[in-house]
Structure 1
């Protein structure tokens, strides 16, 4: 039997993240812009919520015991969130990752005690996702008493993300007019849309995806930034009450990160930068003084060697000049 009481204090620290007013960007764009700081979860991302909910629900439903091996595909924040939860519970974890994982994340999940399987087989679009999922299936067949958290279709993923919207509403005292949500597994988007529909909120939800992702159709192509986009269609229903979606080039996501750092001194990951870029793309369609919220999904420190590294951006994303010339405006 797994003893959960000993980790109640740590688990209680997940969620209830602050929301802050972005004064400088608000004045520049003539809106009221807020940031939901999911980067201030103990694992520094919103995937702490999903990891906690998925694992604890599986324990309650008898799918996991103290001898179970957890298996998941992730090269980003879910890997860190699950590694922390499994460390706390004394559970074995195998993370299936790919070469796009950054060194910081890889080192973190190993420090938390996870075993790492690295796949190196790309599909026709240049993505490793198919190979990662096939490896998960193979491991499930070969390892007795194994369980996959399967963030791509597990309903306990979006269920955990519902809280983000309710916390935003509580902090603001009202529904925001617009909410930007980056997508990958689409668990966050699904959870937020469910809560918007449940509360009959007037909030217009805008999904932000990466160019090269096929979540909303189109052709798959190579992507380098973790945490956004996918080379497969989502298994969650994300079309009920979705206001709009927008595709952002990865270089523009980096520009959004740079702008957020310069204007508000917030160091965020690429999915947040994509939301900032999307906001600038759509600002002429947003009424003056509207309340707008973005979600800072994770902390930017784990991307110092990638998103915030000029050589990496030039090599991987095709930046022709230096980072000082990278801008969303002008």
Structure 2
């Protein structure tokens, strides 16, 4: 067998393995959140934590591997390198193990220990560096090992088929078909790479009847530049601090974040994200991660406006990952105190919202 034929045979096998894994996976559940104040409105959370690797990033990792394989960037000897705050690296380590490939994650020093353990569980290696160094270190490793830098922050928006093919947007609308308000008034997501907002925003535009009736809102945490970039379009904007809400928010404008497909952006303080995440545990009976808190706080802000204006409709957001990954940070009172975050005002605000439908400070 020639070298060329062997490479093609390996590629065919690799694609079969990934597609078989996809075929074994069911769609993620869409949870309806019930609150006393919801009159004429409904909140739904798409539970992405139920993917095999426990987060929304499972979709992205699969797409990035397929993109790399079909573009000839990954073969049977390729070391895979990624810069990640954890969840994408966990999912990519899973797929790398399926294909028998070496995987190295370059992660910030602050990455939750639970995430490091998961990356290593799937056979991945971790290089912990200062947040400002993750891109340069990943590129250096890829060059030294003659490997492939997955670069989720560049390729997320192009690796996913935004026209359909069971992407997250198509799945949401299919699951909403039998609900009282099947076409959401808002879809609310957070941005790490920007890939999810790009996929949903493009899908809405590709289906004009949806685009006319559904708006896309992106929520952004502290120490992230996406919100300012959306307002001012300054692509050189940077932040000297990394995001405390792992998986979302970036200190620089990433190529995969497409502001022109976003209708509205909301800045959510980190204290609000963490308070909402903890508050949500009492509603759902389970722990969710910090980015879920960011999503839900933004969704509740929009619902409060809908209730104020006596507007009926539905709002869809998502559970990005499980809170079990953050027991030593977001669910740890000592960690919260060290971060000088005061959750009490937001907890009071959320409890009042349950009764009144008003989200006031």
TM above 0.5: yes
Superposed, 1:253-292 pairs within 5 Å as: 253-286=273-306, 287-292=310-315
Conservation of the 8 A alpha-carbon contact between 2:63 and 2:160: no
Conservation of the 8 A alpha-carbon contact between 1:53 and 1:160: no
Residue deviations 1:117-147 (CA, integer Å, cap 9, x gap): 1113xxxxxxx1x310011121122112x11
Residue deviations 1:241-298 (CA, integer Å, cap 9, x gap): 4221011111110111112111222421111101221133333322543111111111
Larger CA deviation: 219-228 vs 90-99 = 219-228
Tell me the TM-score normalised to structure 1 length.
0.89
Aligned to 1:124: none
Superposed, 1:63-74 pairs within 5 Å as: 63-74=73-84
Larger CA deviation: 46-55 vs 272-281 = 272-281
Matched, 1:233 2:234: no
Q: Which runs of 5+ in 1 are unaligned?
A: 121-127
Matched, 1:299 2:310: no
Q: Which runs of 5+ in 2 are unaligned?
A: 1-9, 229-236, 353-361
Aligned to 2:185: 177
Q: How far apart are 1:88 and its partner, in Å?
A: 0.8
SS at match of 2:59: helix
Q: Which has the larger radius of gyration?
A: 2
Instruction: Give the direction of change, closer, same or farther, for the CA distance of 1:295–1:315 in structure 2 (3 Å limit).
Output: same
Tell me the TM-score normalised to structure 2 length.
0.82
CA distance in 2, matches of 1:255, 1:15: 31
Matched, 1:250 2:270: yes
Aligned to 2:108: 98
CA distance in 2, matches of 1:190, 1:156: 9
SS at match of 2:37: helix
Q: Which has the higher helix share?
A: 2
1:166 maps to which of 167, 170, 186: 170
Conservation of the 8 A alpha-carbon contact between 1:214 and 1:231: yes
Q: How far apart are 1:318 and its partner, in Å?
A: 2.6
Instruction: Give the direction of change, closer, same or farther, for the CA distance of 1:83–1:327 in structure 2 (3 Å limit).
Output: farther
Conservation of the 8 A alpha-carbon contact between 1:38 and 1:295: yes
Conservation of the 8 A alpha-carbon contact between 2:271 and 2:346: no
Aligned to 1:123: none
Instruction: Give the direction of change, closer, same or farther, for the CA distance of 1:177–1:105 in structure 2 (3 Å limit).
Output: same
